[in-house]
């Protein structure tokens, strides 16, 4: 049975500990002062541990630290810089290396991991470090593990920057009757896309597939990321006729509210159909197209809507037929339109 630890009174009275507790700004030290107060009152370490949601061994460590050094013993002391394994010059080199691919510094790996970094440090500086230490080094250098964003290598950075400047000027100068509508089309198929999901440990989830010809539906969409207004049309294909019908419907809806729109749009062939200038002049009077730079789909706000819809409707789900798929997609988008604030946050 563990011997009950007692507080040595040489560092102050219980009343003085209570005074420190009331004024302590550091939440961790404040909890430790509470532990000392409860120990002063005669409570056992296990009882104190239950009150403060700590382990009994942790409470006993804090009591021992207080008995040795008083209030100062309850503080977390950062080790001096000299105790770090890598000096700052070496850390600067590591920081530069982590900013690129391991192959750029002679390591035949695609991505940095703790093991890969440890291997490079050993070869570069002749220092053997544990994998835990390499991850501590990454954290000290403010590196975190994130999912990269895909970017086509054919994208032109100058064209992308030019578009950003132009759309910014339009947003800043447009009047209250002009809106920005980002347009795009998305394909949804009856065959599921497989993504990671939560499962019981030791069990692998199974997603059924049909292994047959997948049926598909196309959604034409246009979203206003400032208001959350959304226009959509479900069609059988991406082509000129369906695009024209969608534009006519959006134009008519805008006319009813006395609005006009600037519409960022990609460079799909049916967005440049033969005779588009004359057709547009004859049929669309309140929408001005603004073509996105090639290979820069990330500049199109509506892409976030498509990603969200797939995540919540079609991932890991096999639909028995096209009608079922279309019905579920329609229902989800209809619910989204009832929450324009969510669409604003998404897009």
Sheet holding 216-223, edge to edge: 182-189, 216-223, 230-235
pLDDT at 84: 64
Residue labelled with tokens 């011997």: 3
The Cα 22–Cα 20 span in angstroms is: 6
pLDDT at 148: 81
The Cα 61–Cα 64 span in angstroms is: 5
pLDDT at 168: 93
Could you tell me the residue ranges of all domains in the chain? 9-74, 81-140, 159-346
Question: What does DSSP assign to residue 294?
Answer: T
| CATH architecture observed for domain 159-346 | 2-Layer Sandwich (3.30)
- Is residue 280 within 8 Å of 240, Cβ to Cβ? no
Residues in the chain: 347
Apex 132 CA angle, 127 and 137, nearest 5: 65
On the CB side of 76, CA atoms within 13 Å amount to 8
pLDDT tens, N- to C-terminus, the chain (347 residues) = 455 677 877 888 888 888 888 888 888 899 999 998 898 888 888 888 888 888 888 888 898 888 888 888 888 875 544 346 888 899 999 999 999 999 999 999 999 999 999 999 999 999 988 888 898 899 888 888 887 878 888 889 999 999 999 999 999 999 999 999 999 999 999 888 888 888 887 888 888 888 777 889 999 999 999 999 999 999 999 999 999 999 999 999 999 999 999 999 999 999 999 999 999 999 999 999 999 999 888 899 999 999 999 999 999 988 889 999 999 999 999 999 999 999 999 88
Q: How many angstroms from the chain centroid is the CA of residue 279? A: 42
The Cα 177–Cα 256 span in angstroms is: 12
pLDDT at 194: 84
pLDDT at 106: 92
């Amino acid at each position: 049975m563990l011997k009950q630890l007692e507080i040595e009174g040489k560092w102050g009275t219980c009343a003085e500990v209570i005074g420190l507790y009331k004024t302590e700004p550091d939440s961790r030290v404040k909890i430790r002062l509470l532990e000392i107060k409860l120990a002063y009152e005669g409570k056992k370490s296990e009882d104190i541990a239950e009150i403060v949601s700590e382990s009994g061994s942790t409470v006993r460590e804090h009591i021992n630290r207080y008995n040795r050094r008083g209030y100062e013993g309850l503080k977390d002391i950062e080790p001096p810089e000299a105790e770090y394994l890598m000096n700052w010059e070496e850390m600067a080199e590591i920081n530069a290396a982590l900013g690129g691919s391991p192959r750029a510094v002679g390591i035949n790996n695609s991505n940095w991991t703790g093991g890969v970094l440890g291997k490079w440090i050993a070869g570069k500086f002749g220092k053997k470090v544990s994998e835990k230490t390499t991850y501590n080094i990454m954290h000290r250098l403010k590196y975190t593990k994130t999912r990269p964003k895909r970017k086509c290598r054919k994208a032109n950075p100058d064209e992308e920057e030019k578009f950003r400047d132009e759309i910014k000027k339009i947003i800043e100068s447009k009047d209250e009757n002009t809106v920005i509508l980002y347009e795009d089309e998305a394909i949804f198929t009856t065959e599921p896309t497989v993504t990671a999901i939560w499962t019981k440990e030791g069990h692998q989830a199974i997603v059924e597939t049909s292994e047959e010809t997948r049926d598909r539906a196309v959604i034409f969409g246009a979203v206003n990321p400032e208001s959350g207004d959304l226009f959509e049309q479900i069609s059988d294909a991406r082509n000129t006729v369906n695009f024209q019908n969608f534009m006519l419907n959006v134009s008519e809806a805008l006319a009813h509210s006395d609005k006009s729109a600037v519409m960022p749009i990609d460079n799909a062939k049916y967005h440049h159909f033969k005779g588009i200038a004359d057709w547009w002049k004859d049929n669309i009077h309140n929408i001005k197209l603004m073509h996105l730079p090639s290979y820069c789909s990330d500049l199109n706000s509506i892409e976030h809507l498509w990603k969200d819809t797939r995540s919540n409707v079609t991932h890991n789900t096999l639909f028995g037929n096209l009608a079922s798929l279309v019905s579920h997609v329609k229902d989800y988008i209809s619910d989204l339109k009832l929450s324009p604030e969510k669409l604003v946050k998404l897009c």
